[in-house]
Structure formats: C-alpha cells, structure tokens
C-alpha cells in the first residue's frame, strides 16, 4: 500500500513538470504584455521596453523558462509582476475562502445527494424517484451564476437572511463565517448534487440485484438495513469516484461563485492573474491546482480499498 | 494496474425501470419509454428547439445584431415580442438565432470530443505500452483549467465559434479517453478476445468487431452529458468575458450580457435561462432513456 | 454644451467649502482619542483592485488615487484650475526663469522624519524621467538645487508654465513627494516601501493585492488652513480608517451598498442606477463633474485609414448620440462634444461640431467615394470585459457598415486590447485599424497630458498620426507664458486634430458615485480623495 502511494506520488512529478512547461508555453504565446498593464494604457514604447527589461521579459523564452524552473527547484514560486508580492504569500492569503467553499460544497453535496439517491433507488420509477431525479437534472441545467443571482435576490436582498457578499475568516466567529458561506455553497452545490444523486441511485440499484442482497433479505434484514448497510456500502466506489471527479472540476465552479459572491479566493486570483498576464502568479496557481488534482485522484483510489476489500494495489 | 474503478463510466447507470421479462426490440423499447409523459415532453421540447434553430430566419425574427440605441430595454410589444436588450436588439430574434449557436456548440463539442476521445482511448487501451504515457498526458490536460485555455485561445485568435469550441473540447477529451479505455481494457481481458488475438485476428477487425461496438452505449450516455455541459460551459465562459462576442448571439452570452440588469430587467437572463434549462432538462431525460436502453449490462440481465 | 456654468465656481461654493472645513476642524479634537472599537471606517469599492503600488511607474487611475491617500504634492490645483501652494509656496524671479520653493512647517514622513528639500528634488527628478509633462519640462531645466533644508531653487533655460502645472498635475501621474531613499529608485523599477507625507498612512500588514487596501489616518498630518478644493487646500481627515475593497461583480457592489455592507462605490454602472435611486439610504452623485470623454483611434499607418478622407468619413459616420445612448443611456449623465481637449476644460473648443457630433452617413458615403475606398476591411478591436468600453465598438461597427465600410470585429479581453494597441504590424498580420477607449477630462485638458494629441508618427501613442504641424504647436504650447496664448494654440490644435482625423471624439460622460447616507463631505473632484469625508455613527 505505502509503496503504491509512493509510486503514484513519484509518477506525478513528470505530469506536473509537463503541466508547468505547457502552461509556461501557453502564457508566453498568448498576446498580452504585463509591462503594458503595469505602465497603464498610455505609456510610450520606450517606457514599456524599460519595464520589460526590469521584469526580465526581454530575455529569450528558454532563458525565462530556465530561470523559473531553477527558482522552482529551490521552492520559490517567484514574485508577482504587478504587486511585487511573493506568489506563495498571495496564495496563502487566498486559500482560506476557496478551501472553505470547496469543503462545505462537498460536505453539503454528500449529505444531500447520497440520501436522495438511496431514497430514489428504493422504489425505482416511483413518484419519489421521479421527483428526486427531476430535481437533480434541474441542478444540471441552470448556470451557476444564474442560481447565485436568484439566491442573492431572494434570500439576501428580499428576505435579508444572509449578507449579499463577502467572506469572514473563521477567526471572526463561527456564525459570521458560516453565514457568508451558505449561499455560495448552495449555488455551487446544485450541479454536484445532481451528479452524485444520480450516481448513488444507479449504483445502489445496480447492487440491489446482487446475490448477497437477496441473502440479506432472506435472513430477514429490514428494508432500510439492506439499503444502508449492504447496498450503499457496496455502491460506495462509484460514488466516491464521482465525488473525486467533482472536486477536480470544482475549480471552474469556484471561479464563478467567488465572483458572484465576492469571496477573495484562489478562483478569482487565477482569473485576475490571467487577465493581467501576471505570469508567476498564474504558473504558481496552475502548479497548485494540478498538484491538488493529482492528490485527489490518489486519495480516491486509496479510498476504494477502504470501501471495497476486493480492490487491492 | 488494470481497470481502476476510477475508469468506470460515471453515468453508465443501469436502471431497473424496465420490466425484466422478454427482450423486445430496441425500437419497441424506445416507443414504450416514450409513453411516459416526461420522456414524451422531452422529445417534443428537443424537436421544437431544433425546429426553431433551423427555421430561425423565417419565424418572424429580425436581424439579431441590429442595434437601436433609441429603444433600449423595451418591454414586450408587437415589435419586440420578448423586449429588447441593452443595445436595443430584439431578444426574440437573438433567442432563436442563439438556439442555433448553442446547439452548434453543444453538438459540435459532443461529436468532436467523443470522436477524438474514442481514437485516443482505443489506442491507449489496445497498446498497454503507450497507455501509461497517454494517460499521464491526459492527467496533465485535465489539470489545466479550461478558463485559462479559453482566455489564451481567445487572445491568440480572437473570440470565434471555433476558439470557444476548442476551449470546451480539450478538457472534455481526457474524460472520454478514460471511459473508452476502461471499456477496451475490460473487453480485452475477456477470454474470447484474448483467444482471438492469439489466433492472429487483424487489429482493425478486433477493433471494429469487438472493441468499438462495446463503447457505443457508454459514449452515447457520456455524449448527452457533454452536450449539456458544453452549453453550460459556453455560458460560463461568457460570464468570465472569454466567450463568444455578442455579434454571435448564444444563450450563454445573452445571459452573461443581461446579468448586470438582472434585478431591473430579469427577462434578459430568464428567457434564455428558461429555454436553456428546458433544453438541457430534455436532453438529460433522453440521455437517461438511452442509457437504460443501451446499457450492455441491462441487455445481459434482461 | 458646457458642463459647467459660472455658478459652479462662484463664491457660494467656496463659502460652503469653508464652512465644511471649519466644521471639520472643530470635530478634530474628540476624534483623536478614539478607540479602534468604534473607529469610523469608510469601506469603499473603487473601480478595480489595487495591484500596482508605484504611482510614478504607472498612469493607472487607481494607483494615482492611492498616491493621493499616502503622498502629498508640492502644489495643488483648485476647482478653478488655479495652481495653489500645498506642501510648498513659491516665488519667481522677474525674468521668469528662477523659481524658489519653500516647504511649509510641520511636514513629516510617515516614519517620523522631517520632509527636506533634498527629498523633494529626488522625487521631482524621478517623476520627470517618465511623465509626459515632466519629460518636456526637464529639457528646459538648467538646474535644481537645495538652498537649505526647507528651500530649493529651479533654474529654467526659458520661462515656461510647465514647471508649476507639472508640479500641480492632477493626473496622471501627479508629482508625488517621497523620501529621498525611496525616490532614488530608478524610474523603471517599482518602489518597495510605501511611505509618504500624505494625510493617510498605508497599512502594509493588511494589504492584499487586488483585494483590499487599508489606510489609517495620519494623526501627525498638519493640514493647510484654506478650505479643501480638488487637491488644494486643507486635507482634513475625519475618519480613522479607509478600506478599499474590490468587488468583481458590479451588481454585488450595488447590493452590498444597499444592505449597508459598504459605504461607497466609486463608479456605479449607469444601467444599475435605477436600483439605487429608490433606495432611501443611498445617495447617488456625480463627484467628478468634469467627467470623461470617449473617443476612437484609427491606425494611420495602413489602409484604409492612411487616407485622411477615409478617416473623416469614419468620424462623420459615427453619431455621438448613438454611442452615448448605448453606453450611458440616461441623458442626465452625458453630453455630445467635439472638443479634443474637453468641453468644460479651459482649452475646450467647438470646431467641427456640425459633422463630428451627428451621424452623417451621406457625408461619409461621399467622402468614401472621393477617397475611392475599395472595401479594405477595417479591423475593429472589441474588449468584452470592461463595461465602459463594450458599447462603443458595437455602435461604431453598425455606423461604419451603414456608410459602406467593410468591418471585421475582433473581440478579446481588455488587457489584450491594451497590448494590441501598440502593435504596429499591418492589420492582416495581427495589427488593427480602429479601437475606442476613454480618458478622464482632467488629464486631457492640455496637449501633453492628452496622449491622443501627440502626432509624431510611429513614436506617438497608438494610431501613430504624423502631423508635424501639431508637434510644432505642442512645443509652442510648452513655451507659452500665459494661459491666453495657450488657449490660442489649443484652438489651432483642435482644428488640425479634427481635420486630419487624429482622434474621433465620441462624447463626454460623467460616472456617478454612490454612497451611504451616513457618509458626508465627499469632495467634488476629478480625482477621488478621502479627506473631508465624515461618517455618522449609527
């Protein structure tokens, strides 16, 4: 097991390197000039040239790549071209909201979607099943930002139950922290609830036909005990898989949600950095994202063994 | 590592809705499922949307990009059935022409990513040696956020239908590859296939006879999912300012352009939003039906 | 049509300011001993997030406004465009060539050291290295030397108004004063220490680039006694803290203001105004009465706009009314104007009004025929992510097409447009033919601050017009000794700029600000300043 994890971690290194180089190349090929953004839109050509020199952007691309990778190997992600702040510090300042939003979304999704799926699977084709499935498909059909606007309009502006925007760190108290996370979580969860509920329903239904379920039934286990103890546990693998995929694709959702609710997180940072062509910041963030992504895939694979003893690495 | 459970098709969800008696023909089963009301409605909605998209120019529309700064935010009237937007453009006309663009985005992304994913996936699944390399590359592709790709492409070539399509397709490919690969690996480990390979069956025949047909069912299911997600992604890209220009109306950029005025003129977001939701809802329902009908496990069981 | 009437600058207004300043001064004493718990904090949403911290390095407005928070200027400008002493007063020799500046008492840097003449000389030098006015000025400066710790002298080779107008420059970039050790940073390197002598202090520990900037009141600041007016007069601070927070979504900001989560929005999108107008707790007001002007630039290097007649055709085709209706909507906030140096500015001029302002498709068609326009495509850059720039290209494209132009829209994010602007390649190889943008009128009132008016071919700003007569007039302007003389030269520049199609004016607009009713005392000024502002406690 441990050697398997080690092997997987080592296998990620070339992937990360590839991502780093590809992103580096994409960025340098994309038109857009951080010097022009720094200087303002009416700077003269000569001023721009001087600023480019200062940023090291007048060097050949390979030299720039070499400088960056060498820096990276010493654990240094570099410094923002615009604000002169170390990238690692910028990430640190912004990781809180994103992590909170991601975690609350996952927890909320699991808490809502898994029971929904199990209930639906109990009587396939029944009215409960149909209702649950229609709701879950609906979650899949409306853009996140529209859901966000509707929630803000009704729950925050009209009813005044929540603040319309912003983020409060946990240090400011549990309620202020939670209060500002509820609406973004609701907005973002829709699509994942849809995904996980469907997966749960079908996996549970899949398992229900197996022999051991019949055995359990024959032994006189109650309907609920069959559903929860036997079926759900054995249906866990695909559910965990889909949750893993969901987390990996959270990044795009987080970008939108953070904009709508004004959460100062990493999603906004990456968009801002891309629009401003702040190369070191983008590169650092993409490395972080790809690392997280790979880590989650690994975690999911490890979790399989916990749920399904038949799987071994 | 053979097929990791992660490679399972996340939407291949055999359901037990169907009676498990004899095995009727596909067409009969399709007809039978169409008897259920939601499925019928879904078919009608999709057909209607396709009809509106195809015949948009002849359905009482005007030029969807003709501006009229004098009549901004007009409410519904005989001239503007659904009102007009911030540039005085006719919302009804944009909605119908937008149907064309959104359907092109959805279908284009679906076909392209399924086709490319199929080729790469078959390749990876069939040749274990390239598998490791290809899959690591796919991991890398998946790790690059599509928003970055979209902005990079848009600023390289300008925002066109093609750039937006590419930005949507590229991140979608690895998921299809994973799916196809897992099916191929599964089939490959079956005894009869191993025997066939040992007997020297030519590769193309192995592929066309045993491998590709097995991927059709899960791919159709995955395809309906990609269709929905492509249309949603296009809307998200517009929201972030990296989508289609408003000269090419789509439901996505209509909603994105209208979002600033959401509280004042909710129709600008809600009209395209409702049409989009109905379309995706219908395509998802049809997708579920197809899945139930096509899933090989279902077929085996019944 | 002028934005200003005489009353705006009348005595009544000055008196009002004087009263406010007195009230403010009276309230100073109890404020000092306040505990942070009930500190008065203004939460402001500015136009974007602050990232670039060096106000000499960039011309970005937000960095400039940041500059006005923590730095001070030697001279200020009041609302009658008059140059006033701020940190220093001056005397001038009879031949107009030697200026002596004397720093006033009580000036201290935020680290506690006293402001000296050497600090100011170093700051002027760094500024003059990069600023357009500064570059023109420094060529006429023979010597700058300190006489003692509080006085320094500038010796000119010839009399010029640029020295005083440069040091009092409102925007963008003002000549901010910094300690010598910071001002000695080369002008192409950003400064890394943010210490000024201004009315607010920058709180480094709470700074989050792009997200949040925190300023606290500089309790050691000694304001002047005159009432505050633009950047002149007493900068009296009545709040303990000012926080700039960034909101990526404009509607979020409007919602937050309504629910009392923030106090101030610098720029409210025009189309969202109806939401705020009915809200009793919110005031909507144009604080920059001068406002902004929007215009389009044509690429003079390549067909079809290498032909003067085709440029005129484009200017004739586009109607300012259509652009302004689409961009602003509410006529309360816009006016048409053909002046390249701004209606309402002293150099504003109406030449060309009759065909620049309306959409004259007939005239455009005639000009195109005369020019034998052959259908060469016009590549039009369209930024999609900036609300204030999204409408112009759409209206321009529609008008040009009506006149018979072949238009190709190229959409991209604004930062790409900014980079594309300086691309001198032919349109077919990634260049461009036309783009539009906007600038604030406070920076556009003279042919130096106004970047569109440099006409030295490829060396000029994007568009690269080559009109030697304008270049000569700009030099004359720099050497002009009186405002009357300047005005005369400006009128000639206006005529040339319009006839040669150097820039196509699209009209003027004023972006309203909105603030909570518990906040009072926002100065009407072309730059956003936070002195004089007061917040009632609930």
Give me the residue from C58, C209, C210 closest to A39, CB to CB. C58
Contact call for residues A163 and A263 (beta carbons, < 8 A)? no
More confident residue, A47 or B64: B64
The residue written with tokens 């556009």 in the block is: C444
CB contact under 8 A, B236 and A206: no
The answer to whether residue B84 neighbours chain C at the CB level (below 8 Å) is no
More confident residue, C220 or A22: C220
pLDDT at residue A104 in the model? 92
Highest mean pLDDT among A12-16, B35-39, B174-178, C243-247: C243-247
CA distances from B40 to A35, B30, B48, C100 (A): 58, 11, 12, 89
CB contact under 8 A, B264 and C384: no
For testing the chain A interface, which of C54, C213, C248 should be mutated: the one with the most A CBs within 10 Å?
C248
Chain A positions touching C261 (Cβ under 8 A) are 163-166
Expressed in percent and rounded to 5, the helix, strand and coil fractions of chain B are 70, 0, 25
Distance, in Å, from the CA atom of A205 to the CA atom of B18, rounded to the nearest integer, reads 12
More confident residue, A17 or C328: C328
Give me the residue from A22, A26, A271 closest to B147, CB to CB. A271
Task: For residue C393, give both structure tokens.
Answer: 């290209």
Contact call for residues C263 and B254 (beta carbons, < 8 A)? no
pLDDT of C318 > 80? The answer is yes
pLDDT of C185 > 50? The answer is yes
Contact call for residues A270 and A283 (beta carbons, < 8 A)? no
Q: Which residue of A has its CA nearest to B172?
A: A249
Mean pLDDT (chain A) is 82
CB contact under 8 A, B260 and C269: yes
Residue boundaries of the structural domains of chain A: 2-73, 93-307
Highest mean pLDDT among A165-174, A241-250, C401-410: C401-410
For testing the chain A interface, which of C133, C205, C210 should be mutated: the one with the most A CBs within 10 Å?
C210
pLDDT of A123 > 90? The answer is no
Chain B positions touching A130 (Cβ under 8 A) are 38
Distance, in Å, from the CA atom of C223 to the CA atom of C329, rounded to the nearest integer, reads 41
Q: Which residue of A has its CA nearest to B3?
A: A311
Contact call for residues A297 and A227 (beta carbons, < 8 A)? no
Q: Which residue of B has its CA nearest to A300?
A: B6
Mean pLDDT of A51-73: 84
pLDDT at residue B281 in the model? 86
The residue written with tokens 């390549």 in the block is: C302
Q: Which residue of B has its CA nearest to C420?
A: B155
Give the closest-approach CA distance of B188 to chain A in angstroms. 19
Chain B positions touching C387 (Cβ under 8 A) are 260
More confident residue, C213 or A295: C213
Rounded to two decimals, the pTM is 0.80
Tens digit of each residue's pLDDT (9 = 90 or more) over B198-243: 888 887 887 887 788 888 877 887 888 889 889 988 888 888 777 8
pLDDT at residue C97 in the model? 92
More confident residue, C104 or B190: C104
> Quick check: ipTM above 0.85?
no
Contact call for residues A187 and A147 (beta carbons, < 8 A)? yes
Contact call for residues B159 and B244 (beta carbons, < 8 A)? yes
pLDDT of B70 > 60? The answer is yes
More confident residue, B238 or C33: B238
Give the closest-approach CA distance of A309 to chain B in angstroms. 13
Q: Which domains does chain B have, with CATH numbers?
A: 31-55+93-299 (1.10.3720.10)
pLDDT of C5 > 80? The answer is no
CB contact under 8 A, A262 and C248: yes
Tens digit of each residue's pLDDT (9 = 90 or more) over B254-265: 998 888 888 888
> For residue A228, what is the enclosing H or E element?
none
Give me the residue from C189, C255, C419 closest to A36, CB to CB. C419
Mean pLDDT of C504-514: 94
Burial of residue A3 (CB within 10 Å: 0-12, 13-18, 19+) is exposed
* Percent over 70 (pLDDT), chain C: 92
The answer to whether residue A135 neighbours chain B at the CB level (below 8 Å) is no
Which among B105, B104, B227 has a CA at the least distance from the CA of B176? B227
Strand partners, C407: C378
Give the closest-approach CA distance of C56 to chain A in angstroms. 9
Categorize the per-residue pLDDT at C387 as very low, low, confident or very high, splitting at 50, 70 and 90.
confident
**A36-45, B232-241, C263-272, C279-288: which has the minimum mean pLDDT?**
A36-45
Chain C positions touching B261 (Cβ under 8 A) are 271-272
Strand partners, C409: C380
CB contact under 8 A, B72 and C385: no
Torsion sign across C-alpha atoms A227, A230, A235, A239: positive
The answer to whether residue A275 neighbours chain B at the CB level (below 8 Å) is yes
Q: Which residue of C has its CA nearest to B85?
A: C326
Categorize the per-residue pLDDT at B4 as very low, low, confident or very high, splitting at 50, 70 and 90.
very low
pLDDT at residue C13 in the model? 36
Within a 10 A sphere around the Cβ of C6, how many other Cβ atoms? Answer: 7
Contact call for residues C452 and C295 (beta carbons, < 8 A)? yes
CA A222, A226, A232 angle in degrees (round to 5)? 150
Tens digit of each residue's pLDDT (9 = 90 or more) over B219-229: 887 888 889 88
Would strands C434-440 and C504-509 be described as parallel, antiparallel, or unpaired? Answer: unpaired
Mean pLDDT of C517-537: 91
Q: Which residue of B has its CA nearest to C322?
A: B69
Chain C positions touching A43 (Cβ under 8 A) are 58-59
**CATH no., domain A93-307:** 1.10.3720.10
More confident residue, A276 or A147: A147
Give the closest-approach CA distance of C432 to chain A in angstroms. 14
Categorize the per-residue pLDDT at B26 as very low, low, confident or very high, splitting at 50, 70 and 90.
low
Q: Which residue of B has its CA nearest to A268?
A: B240
CB contact under 8 A, C325 and B69: yes
pLDDT of B20 > 60? The answer is no
CB contact under 8 A, B136 and A19: no
**A268-282, B72-86, C22-36, C84-98: which has the minimum mean pLDDT?**
C22-36
The answer to whether residue B155 neighbours chain C at the CB level (below 8 Å) is yes
Tens digit of each residue's pLDDT (9 = 90 or more) over C76-115: 999 888 999 999 999 999 998 999 999 999 999 999 999 9
CB contact under 8 A, A205 and B15: yes
More confident residue, C224 or C458: C224
Distance, in Å, from the CA atom of A172 to the CA atom of A179, rounded to the nearest integer, reads 12
Give me the residue from A84, A258, A272 closest to C192, CB to CB. A84
Task: For residue A291, give both structure tokens.
Answer: 């690392």
Q: Which domains does chain C have, with CATH numbers?
A: 11-69+194-288+512-535 (3.40.190.10), 72-183 (3.90.76.10), 292-509 (3.10.105.10)
The answer to whether residue A144 neighbours chain B at the CB level (below 8 Å) is yes
Which among C134, C127, C149, C1 has a CA at the least distance from the CA of C64? C127
CB contact under 8 A, B155 and C416: yes
Mean pLDDT of C496-524: 94
């Amino acid at each position: 097991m441990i050697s398997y994890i080690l092997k997987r971690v080592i296998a990620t290194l070339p992937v990360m390197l590839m991502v780093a180089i590809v992103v580096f190349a994409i960025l340098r090929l994309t038109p857009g000039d951080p010097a022009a953004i720094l200087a303002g839109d009416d700077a003269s050509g000569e001023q721009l040239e001087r600023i480019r020199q200062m940023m090291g952007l007048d060097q050949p691309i390979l030299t720039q790549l070499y400088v960056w990778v060498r820096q990276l190997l010493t654990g240094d992600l570099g410094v923002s071209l615009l604000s002169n702040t170390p990238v690692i510090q910028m990430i640190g300042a912004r990781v809180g909201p994103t992590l909170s939003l991601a975690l609350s979304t996952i927890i909320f999704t699991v808490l809502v979607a898994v029971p929904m799926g199990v209930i639906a699977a109990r009587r396939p084709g029944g009215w409960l099943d149909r209702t649950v499935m229609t709701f879950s498909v609906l979650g899949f059909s409306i853009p996140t930002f529209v859901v966000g606007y509707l929630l803000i309009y009704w729950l925050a502006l009209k009813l005044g139950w929540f603040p319309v925007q912003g983020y409060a760190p946990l240090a400011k108290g549990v309620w202020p922290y939670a209060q500002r996370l509820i609406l973004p979580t609701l907005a973002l969860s829709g699509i994942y609830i849809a995904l996980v509920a469907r997966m749960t329903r079908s996996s549970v239904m899949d398992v229900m036909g197996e022999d051991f379920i019949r055995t359990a039934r024959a032994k006189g286990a109650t309907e609920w005990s069959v559903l929860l103890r036997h079926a759900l546990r054995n249906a866990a693998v695909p559910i965990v898989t889909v949750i893993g995929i969901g987390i990996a694709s959270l990044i795009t959702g987080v970008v939108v949600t953070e904009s709508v609710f004004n959460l100062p997180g990493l999603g906004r940072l990456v968009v801002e950095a891309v629009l401003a062509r702040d190369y070191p910041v983008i590169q650092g963030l993409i490395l972080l994202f790809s690392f997280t992504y790979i880590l989650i895939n690994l975690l999911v694979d490890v979790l399989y063994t916990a749920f399904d003893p038949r799987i071994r690495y | 590592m053979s097929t990791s459970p992660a490679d399972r098709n996340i939407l291949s969800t055999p359901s037990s809705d169907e009676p498990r008696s004899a095995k009727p023909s596909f067409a009969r089963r399709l007809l039978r499922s169409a008897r259920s009301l939601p499925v019928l409605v879904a078919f009608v909605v999709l057909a209607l949307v396709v009809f509106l998209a195809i015949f948009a120019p002849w359905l009482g529309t005007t030029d969807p990009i003709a501006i009229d700064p004098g009549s901004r935010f007009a409410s519904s009237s005989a001239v503007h059935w659904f009102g007009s937007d911030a540039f005085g453009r006719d919302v009804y006309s944009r909605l119908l022409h937008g149907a064309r663009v959104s359907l092109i985005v959805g279908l284009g992304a679906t076909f392209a990513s399924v086709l490319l994913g199929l080729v790469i996936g078959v390749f990876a699944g069939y040749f274990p040696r390239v598998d490791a390399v290809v899959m690591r590359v796919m991991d890398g592709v998946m790790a690059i956020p599509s928003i970055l790709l979209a902005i990079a492409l848009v600023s390289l070539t300008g925002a066109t239908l093609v750039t937006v399509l590419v930005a949507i397709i590229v991140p979608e490919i690895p998921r299809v590859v994973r799916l196809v690969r897992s099916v191929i690996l599964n089939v490959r480990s079956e005894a009869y296939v191993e025997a066939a390979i040992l007997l020297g069956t030519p590769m193309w025949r192995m592929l066309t006879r045993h491998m590709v047909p097995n991927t059709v069912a899960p791919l159709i299911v995955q395809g309906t999912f990609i269709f929905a997600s492509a249309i949603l992604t296009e809307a998200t890209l517009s929201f972030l300012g990296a989508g289609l220009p408003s000269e090419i109306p789509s439901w996505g950029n209509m909603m994105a352009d209208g979002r600033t005025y959401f509280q004042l003129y909710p129709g600008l977001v809600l009209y395209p939003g409702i049409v989009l939701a109905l379309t995706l809802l219908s395509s998802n329902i049809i997708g579920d039906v197809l899945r139930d009908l096509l899933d090989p496990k279902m077929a085996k069981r019944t | 049509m002028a934005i200003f009437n005489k009353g705006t600058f009348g005595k009544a207004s000055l008196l009002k300011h004087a009263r406010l300043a007195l009230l403010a001064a009276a309230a100073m004493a109890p404020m000092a001993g306040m505990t942070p718990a009930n500190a008065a904090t203004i939460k402001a949403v500015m136009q974007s997030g602050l990232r670039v911290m060096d106000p000499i390095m960039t011309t970005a407005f937000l960095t400039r406004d940041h500059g006005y928070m923590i730095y001070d200027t030697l001279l200020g400008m009041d609302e009658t465009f008059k140059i006033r002493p701020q940190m220093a007063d001056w005397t001038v020799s009879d031949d107009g060539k030697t200026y002596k500046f004397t720093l006033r008492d009580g000036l201290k840097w935020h680290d506690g050291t006293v402001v000296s003449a050497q600090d100011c000389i170093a700051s002027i030098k760094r500024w003059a290295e990069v600023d357009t006015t500064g570059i023109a000025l420094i060529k006429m400066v023979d010597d700058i030397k300190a006489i003692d710790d509080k006085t320094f002298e500038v010796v000119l080779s010839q009399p010029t108004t640029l020295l005083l107008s440069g040091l009092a420059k409102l925007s963008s970039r003002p000549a901010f004063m910094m300690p010598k050790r910071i001002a000695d940073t080369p002008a192409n390197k950003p400064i890394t220490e943010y210490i000024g002598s201004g009315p607010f202090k920058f709180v480094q520990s709470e700074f989050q680039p792009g997200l949040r900037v925190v300023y606290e009141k500089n309790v050691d600041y000694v304001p002047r006694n005159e009432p505050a007016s633009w950047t002149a007069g007493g900068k009296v601070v009545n709040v303990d803290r000012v926080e700039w927070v960034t909101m990526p979504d404009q509607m979020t900001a409007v919602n937050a203001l309504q629910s009392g989560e923030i106090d101030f929005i610098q720029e409210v999108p025009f189309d969202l105004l109806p939401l705020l107008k009915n809200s009793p707790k919110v005031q909507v007001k144009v604080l920059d009465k001068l406002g902004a002007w929007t215009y389009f630039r044509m690429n003079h290097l390549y067909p079809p706009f290498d032909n003067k007649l085709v440029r005129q055709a484009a200017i004739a085709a586009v109607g300012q009314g259509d652009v302004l209706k689409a961009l602003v909507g509410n006529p309360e906030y816009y006016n048409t104007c053909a002046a390249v140096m701004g209606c309402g500015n002293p150099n504003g001029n109406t030449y060309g009004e009759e065909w620049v302002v309306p959409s004259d498709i007939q005239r455009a068609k005639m000009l195109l025929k005369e020019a034998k326009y052959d259908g060469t495509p016009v590549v039009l850059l369209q930024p999609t992510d900036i609300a204030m720039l999204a409408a112009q290209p759409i209206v321009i494209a529609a008008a040009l097409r009506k006149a018979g132009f072949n238009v190709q829209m190229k959409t991209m994010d604004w930062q790409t447009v900014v980079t594309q602007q300086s691309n001198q390649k032919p349109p077919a190889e990634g260049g461009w033919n036309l783009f539009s943008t906007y600038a604030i009128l406070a920076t556009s009132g003279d042919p130096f601050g106004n970047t569109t008016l440099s006409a030295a071919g490829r060396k000029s700003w994007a568009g690269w017009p080559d009109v030697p007569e304008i270049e000569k007039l700009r030099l004359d302007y720099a050497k002009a000794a009186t405002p009357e003389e300047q005005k005369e030269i400006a009128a000639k520049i206006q005529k040339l700029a319009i006839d040669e199609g150097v820039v196509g004016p699209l009209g003027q607009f004023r972006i309203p600000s909105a603030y909570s009713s518990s906040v009072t005392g926002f100065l009407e000024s072309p730059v956003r300043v936070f002195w004089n502002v007061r917040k009632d406690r609930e």
